């Protein structure tokens, strides 16, 4: 059974940190471009980060300008997981964060989704 499950969302004060995780089962993350996207109420979905697949020639990680320098995405191929370390959080980071696996990265956006999760809520507020 294919599953892609996020965890780690919480309520945090501005300036705080959170670490989100995404666990995959039924498929191998390394074969895909993987990343995170977020959606806040009343706003369009935004690609947060994208990591190229293992077979990609560049093997790069891309970030949206809004999170560059504050967020770090990583994959653990042995555990088949994807993580997002979020530091210096701002109220505007409040959103539902979801992970996706697809064909390739187009900047910070995973293009051509094959699998995606249901999301975890991150709320940044004092």
pLDDT of 54 > 80? The answer is no
Residue 86 Cα distances to 49, 103, 109, 112, angstroms: 11, 25, 17, 25
* Residue 87: half-sphere exposure toward Cβ, Cα within 13 Å: 6
Q: Is the per-residue pLDDT at 75 higher than 80? A: yes
Residue 3: which pLDDT band, with cuts at 50, 70 and 90? confident
Q: Find the mean pLDDT for residues 7-16.
A: 97
**Per-residue pLDDT band at 56 (split at 50, 70, 90):** confident
Give the mean pLDDT of 99-124: 94
Closest CA to 36 of 124, 126, 120, 92: 120
Both tokens of residue 61?
A: 């990680």
Examine the pLDDT at 58 and tell me if it is beyond 80: no
Token pair for 76: 């653990």
pLDDT at 64: 97
Average pLDDT score over residue span 34-45: 95
Of residues 99 and 53, more confidence is placed in 99
Compute the Cα dihedral for 72, 78, 79, 80 and give only its sign: positive
d(CA 99, CA 122): 13
* Residue 59's pLDDT band (cuts 50, 70, 90): confident
Torsion angle in degrees (nearest 10) through CA of 43, 110, 87, 68: -90
Q: Which residues of 89-124 are buried (b: 16+ CB within 10 A; e: fewer)?
A: beeebbbbbbbbbbeebeebbbeeeebbbebbebeb
């Amino acid at each position: 059974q294919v599953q892609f499950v996020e965890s780690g969302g919480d309520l945090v004060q501005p300036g705080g940190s959170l670490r989100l995780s995404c666990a995959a089962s039924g498929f191998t993350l390394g074969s895909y471009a993987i990343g995170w996207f977020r959606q806040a109420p009343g706003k369009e979905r935004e690609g947060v980060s994208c990591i190229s697949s293992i077979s990609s020639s560049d093997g790069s990680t891309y970030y949206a300008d809004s999170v560059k320098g504050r967020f770090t995405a990583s994959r653990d191929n042995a555990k088949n997981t994807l993580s997002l370390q979020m530091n210096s959080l701002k109220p505007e980071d409040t959103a539902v964060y979801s992970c996706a696996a697809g064909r390739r990265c187009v900047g910070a956006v995973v293009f051509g989704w094959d699998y995606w999760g249901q999301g975890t809520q991150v709320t940044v507020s004092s």
